């Protein structure tokens, strides 16, 4: 395959970066961890005329925890998210997604900003961000704006990123008032797998097991992550039991629109979308639970 | 030989190349230092079946940095290669038979220049009908992929009266099993490099499993004398069968022949996926019957092997699948037919097990189905039918020794009983089901009913140092270590003290392919033979000198001494000097060719192999009925290897085999036209690996070196059947197509009615 000639720049501050972007044409590609960009350059899926490396920008780094809010820099790696006490407190489902993301090597390189901007239907940080109604902060040389993740992601690989803009950070309301924080991912193998279906779920349960509030977001079952107000409304006020979830089966089927692809059929995804819902009735296993097998 | 004296055999020896590998020293083709080398690249067909009307290289030849572009017309010798049947052109002259067929070879100053030239070559195709399905290919009016027709080979095995036997059977089960194309996915993609030596010899380094085959093939393609070619095996990062074919060697040779400049060709992972052999997908329809006691009485099987565009090792795969279709069991009446068929799929060749893994999936599923019908435990079913000394196989071979299948079953038995008693029935987590399964196998060591000799030399120099010359390619499995252990044992030397000259066709003679789990058994014997002859010379001389009977003398650590009188010694170097003075050569030739008898073309009766390896795996799995995820919790793997020359090496093979078996059983599938690279071809990761309990069973083979047989391929074969039987045990529903991926397991769960809720049965909207 032909490797395109790419010029490469690595600005040292956000101001420098946005100024630079202003002068470059939109065939320049932003580069964070490069775990998507590098593979896309190799396959020829993208042909950047130049690469603007964001990895040295201090403004994109760090996780800041406030009283009610968590602010995650777009350049924060998945490893940092997986090991952050702030994320474990304020967004446990996201922490779980980060823990099972790719492999250690990938987690050390890949950033949350890259995962959002790649806008893959299977992106693993997306469902946890959808259930917490994440807001994204975008910066250009002329202005800074905020947009909800639902509006930002428009389709597979399509995002509302204007010319000259950089995703600066992600703002989340802490999900402290939920009793269950779940993330589940189904892939062809136990690591280094693209999600065939994933599901993030937040549930506030009353002491007698009634769902008081619930938020669900499925990945890889539609062009973008699916949240369904109908499903959530239907389940609210009902006991978290198999019978209840079983009744939601047709509503879930209506909400999703999966396709057949190389990894699985639409029929498989439809069934597993509900299968993962049923899993809410069980204790979530810790990823490395050891079973007595002898 | 007195067993007490054996010190080098059966001990864990660090791989001879271990330290070197850890330091990053071994030189792979990609790392060879060459003076100003050219880069090679091949233009590959984008059409699956088409006549080539025109290849226009004019514009491409004029692009910058191009040394030359070659097409079929430039091949000076015979433009057909293939280890069993010669049907594979190096560059296609007139038609392409699969996507990936080689059309033109570019030699360029840089990789970019080569890429640019590839894009500038214009090929005019005239499409022909494409055949993807081997059943279609067999039809009377199917377009011919090769002039000779689409049926490449048939292997029949007939013994007894099958129809009559079925009539008398109490239980009969007939099913069809299917497997997929697989990619070998070795760590190092195919690579080669070379230069022309001062004397005009074309020196070719290759990542290869069979340097002497490469040698003959390159000489034939170029139409040059044998001495004009030298093949050196470079460090080789795995092969699993695919590096038995000519991959880059012919291209390197062609460029050297014309250009005389150093060249290199390293496949990208994508090219390795596109252009090299795959595992044959097999369709196996098998009918098996037993009497009311569960004794196997009859089997009929029809096996269809899709060999894709070229034969490669297809004939061997069909033959071996047929011979092994009975499993390691006595079946008095058999009627087996295996067809090897051309299609326009990627060509399929050798891959760890040559059809035996596919066959084992079928016969081991049958064993469980029969056991179920009969109400016998799967373990008892296998134990009572297992081959033993004195048994006849389907080819009419009487087994006389080293039939370790019962020992393997017995080794697994306590584990089986314990997990069936407790683990299997302890409550599983919600929405999960546990299952236990067995998979047994047999595997004939070496080529099927063919001569497959190995040769070796051992030389002692005047200082008493020993050099082992072997053509046996070590591709990471550790054969050089094992062969050094054998030589060391014979000569009373540490294996590490023996210099090894390996797989260089200038200095070593043919040891045959590193395939068919044959090198420990066959090359091990050849080395032992050579070393034995050297010992004989030394002891004869020493006997004259010491005036002691030869029988009482031994060689040990540089001395020859009398076993009965330890004071009576003479340094080996003294003997060597005497021998040299007498003009005796201390370079000894060794050889070995296992005794086989060709299979009769009509009945398949004969002696395909001199010895067989046996194994049984026990699999414990947990199946998630919501998602189809399968966790393989543990594999207990008992292997009869005859004798473990290097136990650590045997155990390493078992671990690797289990990993590959899990891939074969649960996730791997190469889809022609769609699968591109490791990006979309999933192989197991360390997280997918179960606990493994390896058990080495040693049922000594009288004709093996120190009793050894082989383990390379056997390690992989039982895993997938054991896992599939365990899934079936967990769900109460069987899967007949590999891989048993998420989708198929979930379908089985739905069919079994274990998907929870009220929507389990009907397909959702
Ligand atoms: C082996 C492997 C395993 C993987 N496993 C997973 C997995 O388990 N789950 C999963 O979801 N993904 C996985 N991926 C995909 C990939 O790692 C993720 O999408 C990752 O989060 C991308 O982040 P990055 O920093 O590497 O992004 P990059 O590759 O650098 O960029 C990705 C995209 O985002 C844009 N971009 C990056 N940062 C910004 C910014 N600040 N502002 C605007 N645009 C920006 C880039 O221009 C590019 O279009 C895997 C990839 C590989 C190679």
Query: Each residue of A257-285: pLDDT tens digit?
Result: 999 999 999 999 999 999 999 999 998 76
Domain end (from A151, A173, A195): A173
pLDDT in tens, B718-746: 999 999 999 999 999 999 999 999 999 99
Assess whether A131 and A207 both reside in one domain.
no
Assess whether A121 and A46 both reside in one domain.
no
pLDDT exceeds cutoff 70 at B377: yes
pLDDT exceeds cutoff 50 at B669: yes
pLDDT exceeds cutoff 70 at B583: yes
Q: pLDDT averaged over chain A?
A: 93
Angle between helices B524-546 and B479-491 (to 10 degrees): 20
Helical H runs in A1-45?
Answer: 14-23, 37-43
What percent of chain B lies above the pLDDT cut of 90? 96
This prediction has a pTM of 0.97
Residue B202: beta bridge partners?
A: B196, B229
Rounded to a whole number of angstroms, the distance from the CA of A7 to the nearest CA of chain B is 17
Rounded to a whole number of angstroms, the distance from the CA of A28 to the nearest CA of chain B is 22
Vertex B452, ends B451 and B455: CA angle to 5°?
125
* Short-list A156, A163, A168, CA closest to A29: A163
Tokens standing for residue B715: 């390690």
CA atoms within 13 A on the CB side of B106: 29
pLDDT exceeds cutoff 60 at B271: yes
Nearest to A291 among B116, B628, B633 (CB): B633
Domain that holds residue A73: 58-173
Ramachandran bin of A93, using left for φ above 0, alpha for ψ from -120 to 50, beta for the remaining angles: alpha
User: Residue A283, exposed/middle/buried by CB under 10 A (0-12, 13-18, 19+)?
Assistant: exposed
* Short-list B403, B315, B405, B397, CA closest to B360: B405
Strand B587-592 to B612-624 pairing: unpaired
Q: Which chain A positions have a beta carbon within 8 Å of B665's beta carbon?
A: none
Q: Label residue A48 by pLDDT band (50, 70, 90).
A: low
Assess whether A90 and A49 both reside in one domain.
no
What percent of chain B lies above the pLDDT cut of 70? 98
* Short-list A98, A100, A93, A111, CA closest to A34: A111
- Is the CB of B112 less than 8 angstroms away from the CB of A253? no
What CATH number does the domain containing A159 carry? 3.30.465.10
Assess whether A163 and A270 both reside in one domain.
no
Contacts of B655 (CB under 8 A, 6+ apart): B692, B694
pLDDT score, position B151: 98
Structural domains in chain B plus CATH codes: 18-25+453-592 (3.30.365.10), 32-128+184-275 (3.90.1170.50), 282-387+403-447+601-752 (3.30.365.10)
Top pLDDT among A2 and A51 is at A51
Assess whether A167 and A68 both reside in one domain.
yes
d(C-alpha B12, C-alpha B16), whole Å: 12
pLDDT score, position A292: 54
d(C-alpha B517, C-alpha B350), whole Å: 12
Domain end (from A119, A148, A173): A173
- Is the distance from CB of B755 to CB of B623 less than 8 angstroms? no
What average pLDDT does range B557-570 have in this prediction?
91
pLDDT in tens, B391-447: 999 999 999 999 999 999 999 999 999 999 999 999 999 999 999 999 999 999 999
d(C-alpha B466, C-alpha B473), whole Å: 20
- Is the distance from CB of B674 to CB of B648 less than 8 angstroms? no
Assess whether A205 and A165 both reside in one domain.
no
Q: pLDDT averaged over chain B?
A: 96
Give the residue whose CA is nearest to atom 49 of ligand 1.
A118
The structural domain count of chain A equals 3
Q: For the residues of B187-214, what is the DSSP string, one character each?
A: SS--EEEEEE-TTS-EEEEE--S-HHHH
Phi, psi of A190 (to 5 degrees): -85, -10
Residue with tokens 């072997």, as numbered in its chain: B470
pLDDT in tens, A147-164: 999 999 999 999 999 999
In a domain, A293, yes or no: no
Assess whether A67 and A135 both reside in one domain.
yes
- Is the distance from CB of B453 to CB of B512 less than 8 angstroms? yes
pLDDT exceeds cutoff 80 at A289: no
* Short-list A200, A204, A46, CA closest to A133: A200
Give the residue whose CA is nearest to atom 18 of ligand 1.
A115
pLDDT score, position B2: 45
In a domain, A113, yes or no: yes
Of the listed ranges B21-25, B662-666, B761-765, the least confidently predicted one is: B761-765
- Is the CB of B680 less than 8 angstroms away from the CB of A262? yes
What average pLDDT does range A159-175 have in this prediction?
96
Assess whether A66 and A163 both reside in one domain.
yes
Give the N- to C-terminal CA distance of chain A in Å, as an integer.
50
In a domain, A2, yes or no: no
Assess whether A236 and A196 both reside in one domain.
yes
B547 touches chain A (CB under 8 A): no
pLDDT in tens, B481-538: 999 999 999 999 999 999 999 999 999 999 999 999 999 999 999 999 999 999 999 9
- List strand residue ranges (DSSP E) for B481-556, in order: 499-502, 553-556
pLDDT exceeds cutoff 90 at B292: yes
Phi, psi of B210 (to 5 degrees): -155, 75
Assess whether A201 and A239 both reside in one domain.
yes
CA B139 to chain centre: 31
In a domain, A90, yes or no: yes
Tokens standing for residue B77: 């010798």
Q: Label residue B577 by pLDDT band (50, 70, 90).
A: very high
DSSP letter assigned to residue B68: E
pLDDT in tens, B308-355: 999 999 999 999 999 999 999 999 999 999 999 999 999 999 999 999
User: Hey, is A92 helix, strand or coil?
Assistant: helix
In a domain, A93, yes or no: yes
Residue B266: beta bridge partners?
A: B191
Chain B residue at shortest CA distance from A242: B757
Assembly ipTM? 0.95
Contacts of B359 (CB under 8 A, 6+ apart): B282, B284, B303, B320, B321, B324, B325, B327
pLDDT score, position A192: 96
pLDDT score, position A287: 47
In a domain, A1, yes or no: no
What is the CA(B484)–ligand 1 centre distance, in A? 49
Q: Which chain A positions have a beta carbon within 8 Å of B115's beta carbon?
A: 1-2
């Amino acid at each position: 395959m032909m490797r395109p000639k790419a010029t490469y720049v690595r600005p040292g501050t956000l101001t420098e970066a946005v100024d630079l972007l202003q002068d470059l044409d939109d065939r320049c590609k932003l580069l964070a961890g490069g775990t998507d960009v590098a593979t896309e350059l190799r396959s020829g899926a993208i042909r950047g005329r130049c690469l603007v490396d964001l990895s040295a920008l201090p403004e994109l780094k760090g996780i800041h925890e406030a009283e009610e809010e968590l602010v995650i820099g777009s350049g924060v790696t998945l490893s940092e998210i997986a090991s952050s006490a702030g994320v474990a407190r304020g967004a446990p489902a996201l922490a779980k997604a980060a823990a099972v993301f790719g492999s250690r090597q990938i987690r050390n390189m890949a950033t949350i900003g890259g995962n959002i901007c790649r806008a893959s239907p299977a992106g693993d940080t997306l469902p946890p961000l959808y259930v917490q109604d994440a807001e994204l902060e975008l910066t250009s040389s002329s202005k800074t704006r905020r947009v909800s993740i639902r509006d930002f992601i428009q389709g597979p690989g399509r995002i509302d990123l204007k010319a000259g803009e950089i995703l600066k950070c992600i703002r989340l309301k802490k999900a402290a008032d939920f009793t269950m924080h779940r993330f589940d991912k189904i892939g062809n193998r136990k690591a280094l797998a693209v999600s065939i279906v994933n599901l993030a779920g937040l549930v506030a349960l009353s002491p007698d097991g009634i769902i008081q509030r619930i938020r669900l977001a499925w990945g890889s079952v539609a062009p973008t992550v699916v949240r369904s107000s109908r499903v959530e409304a239907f389940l609210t006020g009902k006991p978290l039991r198999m019978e209840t979830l079983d009744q939601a089966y047709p509503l879930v089927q209506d909400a999703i629109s999966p396709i057949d692809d190389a990894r699985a059929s639409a029929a498989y995804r439809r069934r597993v979308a509900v299968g993962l819902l049923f899993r809410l009735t069980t204790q979530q296993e810790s990823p490395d639970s050891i079973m007595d097998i002898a | 030989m007195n067993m007490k004296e054996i010190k080098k055999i059966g001990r864990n020896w660090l791989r001879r190349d271990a330290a070197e590998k850890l330091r990053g020293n071994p030189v792979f083709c990609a790392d060879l230092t060459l003076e100003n080398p050219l880069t090679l690249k091949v233009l590959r067909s984008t059409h699956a079946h088409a006549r080539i009307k025109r290849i226009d290289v004019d514009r491409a030849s004029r692009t910058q940095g191009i040394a030359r572009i070659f097409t079929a017309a430039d091949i000076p010798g015979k433009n057909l290669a293939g280890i069993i049947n010669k049907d594979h052109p190096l560059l296609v002259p007139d038609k392409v038979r699969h996507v990936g067929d080689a059309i033109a070879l570019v030699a360029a100053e840089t990789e970019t220049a080569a890429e640019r030239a590839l894009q500038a070559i214009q090929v005019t195709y005239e499409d022909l009908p494409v055949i993807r399905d081997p059943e279609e290919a067999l039809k009377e009016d199917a377009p011919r992929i090769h002039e000779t027709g689409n049926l490449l080979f048939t292997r029949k095995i007939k013994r007894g009266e099958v129809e009559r036997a079925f009539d008398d059977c109490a239980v009969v089960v007939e099913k069809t099993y299917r497997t997929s194309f697989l990619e070998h996915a070795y760590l190092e993609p195919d690579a080669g490099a070379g230069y022309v030596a001062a004397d005009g010899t074309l020196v070719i380094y290759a990542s290869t499993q069979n340097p002497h085959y490469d040698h003959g093939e390159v000489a034939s393609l170029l139409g040059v004398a044998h001495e004009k070619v030298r093949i050196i095996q470079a460090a080789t990062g795995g092969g699993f069968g695919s590096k038995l074919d000519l991959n880059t060697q012919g291209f390197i040779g062609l460029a050297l022949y014309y250009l005389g400049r150093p060249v290199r060709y390293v496949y990208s992972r994508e090219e390795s996926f596109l252009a090299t052999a795959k595992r044959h997908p097999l369709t196996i329809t098998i009918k098996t019957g037993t009497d009311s006691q569960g004794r196997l009485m009859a089997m009929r099987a029809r096996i269809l092997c899709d060999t894709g565009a070229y034969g490669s090792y297809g004939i061997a795969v069909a033959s071996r699948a047929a011979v092994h279709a009975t499993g390691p069991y006595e079946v008095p009446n058999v009627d087996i037919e295996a067809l090897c068929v051309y299609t326009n799929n990627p060509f399929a060749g050798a891959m760890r097990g040559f059809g035996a893994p596919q066959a084992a999936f079928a016969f081991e599923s049958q064993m469980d189905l029969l056991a179920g019908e009969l109400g016998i435990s799967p373990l008892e079913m296998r134990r009572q039918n297992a081959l033993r000394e004195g048994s006849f196989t389907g080819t009419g071979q009487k087994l006389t020794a080293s039939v370790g299948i019962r020992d393997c079953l017995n080794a697994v038995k306590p584990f089986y009983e314990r997990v069936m008693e407790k683990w299997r029935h302890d409550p599983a987590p919600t929405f999960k089901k546990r299952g236990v399964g067995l998979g047994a196998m047999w595997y004939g060591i070496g080529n099927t009913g063919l001569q497959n000799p190995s040769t070796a030399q051992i030389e002692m120099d005047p200082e008493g140092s020993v050099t082992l010359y072997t053509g046996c390619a070590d591709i990471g499995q550790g054969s050089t270590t094992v062969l050094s252990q054998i030589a060391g044992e014979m000569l009373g030397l540490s294996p590490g003290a023996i210099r090894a000259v390996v797989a260089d066709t200038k200095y070593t003679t043919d040891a045959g392919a590193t395939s068919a789990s044959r090198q420990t058994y066959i090359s091990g014997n050849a080395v032992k033979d050579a070393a034995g002859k050297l010992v004989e010379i030394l002891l004869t001389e020493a006997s004259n000198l010491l005036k002691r009977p030869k029988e009482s003398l031994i060689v040990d650590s540089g001395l020859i001494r009398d076993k009965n009188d330890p004071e009576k010694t003479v340094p080996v170097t003294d003997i060597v000097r005497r021998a040299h003075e007498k003009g005796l050569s201390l370079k000894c030739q060794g050889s070995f060719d296992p005794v086989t008898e060709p299979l009769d073309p009509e009945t398949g009766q004969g002696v395909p192999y001199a010895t067989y390896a046996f194994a049984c795996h026990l699999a414990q799995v947990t199946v998630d009925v919501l998602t189809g995820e399968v966790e393989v919790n543990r594999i207990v793997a008992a292997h009869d290897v005859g004798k473990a020359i290097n136990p650590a090496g045997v155990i390493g093979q078992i671990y690797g085999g289990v990993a590959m078996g899990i891939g074969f059983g649960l996730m791997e599938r190469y889809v022609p036209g769609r699968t591109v690279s490791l990006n979309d071809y999933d192989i197991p990761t360390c997280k997918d690996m179960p606990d493994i309990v390896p058990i080495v069973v040693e049922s000594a083979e009288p004709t093996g070196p120190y009793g050894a047989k082989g383990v390379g391929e056997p390690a992989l074969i039982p895993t997938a059947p054991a896992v599939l039987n365990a899934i079936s045990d967990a769900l109460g529903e069987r899967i007949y197509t590999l891989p048993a991926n998420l989708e198929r397991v979930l379908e089985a769960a739905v069919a079994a009615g274990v998907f929870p809720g009220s929507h389990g049965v009907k397909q959702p909207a």
